[in-house]
Amino acid sequence: MPATLACAGYRLALDRPRLMGVVNLSADSFSGDGCAGDASRAVERGLQLVEEGADILDLGAESSRPGAMPVSAEEELNRLLPVLEGLRGCGVPISVDTTKPQVMRAASRAGASMINDIRALEEPGAMEAAASSTVALCLMHMQGQPATMQLQPRYDDVVQQVFDYLSRRVAAAMAAGVARERLLVDPGFGFGKTLAHNLSLLRHLDRFAALGVPLLVGLSRKSMLGAITGQPVGERLAASVAAAMLAAQRGAAILRVHDVAATRDALAVWHALESGAEAVSEREAR
């Protein structure tokens, strides 16, 4: 598996789990942290996440939660471009969470380093738009469409079916001319999956290493954590950090999170344990 991810001008080292900080530009994000078209607030939030230890930022201008308002490409770009412009020099690569080829092209031209596509480049023209750039590409699995995906998700073997789908999408991207070192995959927690499906995927996450590309995982604040803990979306920090840790231990290379500082601290404890106490000074150890 590549030890680095090629993201346009950046190479992201994947020698330890990396944190992708979420910056939502929509008003209706399920996570409750949407910047609602306020570009300066979004830039501030992005800079704060970098300060807290984000290794990459993910800008999303269209919510994917069931019932969210669809957004035109024009509106998506109106929300995205000022924020991308404001964050371009912040020192970490910027990912854009989009499914639209027009947005992919404009975002790549404007300095994005990754396209994060919950439809795995299945929209007409998306594969061509992505392949003609040099950005990293995250291919995510989703069953159905956001509006209805949680009504009746069905699988015979969720882990095998998600694996096979991602394997086909990696092959399609490579056939379109995308180098393997630009690709990563995501099983898509909560995207057309019941709690049992999500738990199976998390339990068997290590199986996805056989795809030969890094794994990105987004569990932060998701409803599966609400179902397990009974907590509303604003009270899922502890569950989100625990889930991120479990995913990292099962091989996730990039963790997509809303709460960067808390996840960074949790990972630091794990890292210290893995790499030996030398990494921690006397003072820090007290």
Q: Annotated catalytic sites, by residue?
A: 222, 256
Q: Which is nearer to ligand HH2, 116 or 150 (CB)?
A: 116
Site for ligand HH2 in 232-271 (CB under 6 A): 256
Distance between CA atoms of residues 225 and 230, nearest Å: 8
Interface with ligand HH2 (CB under 6 A), residue from 116, 150, 200, 263: 116
In the range 55-74, which residues lie near ligand HH2 by CB under 6 A? 60, 63-65
- CA atoms of 241 and 236, how far apart (whole Å): 9
Backbone φ and ψ of 87, nearest 5°: -105, -5
Give the nearest distance from C-beta 64 to ligand HH2 in angstroms.
Answer: 4
Residues 168-227 that bind ligand HH2 (CB under 6 A): 186, 188-189, 216, 218
Cβ-Cβ contacts under 8 Å for 269 (sequence gap 6 or more): none
Minimum CB separation of residue 148 from ligand HH2 in Å reads 15
Report the residue from 22, 96, 112, 266 that binds ligand HH2 according to the rule CB under 6 A: 22
**Residues lying near ligand HH2 in the complex (CB under 6 A):** 22, 24, 26, 29-31, 60, 63-65, 97, 116, 118, 138, 140, 186, 188-189, 216, 218, 256
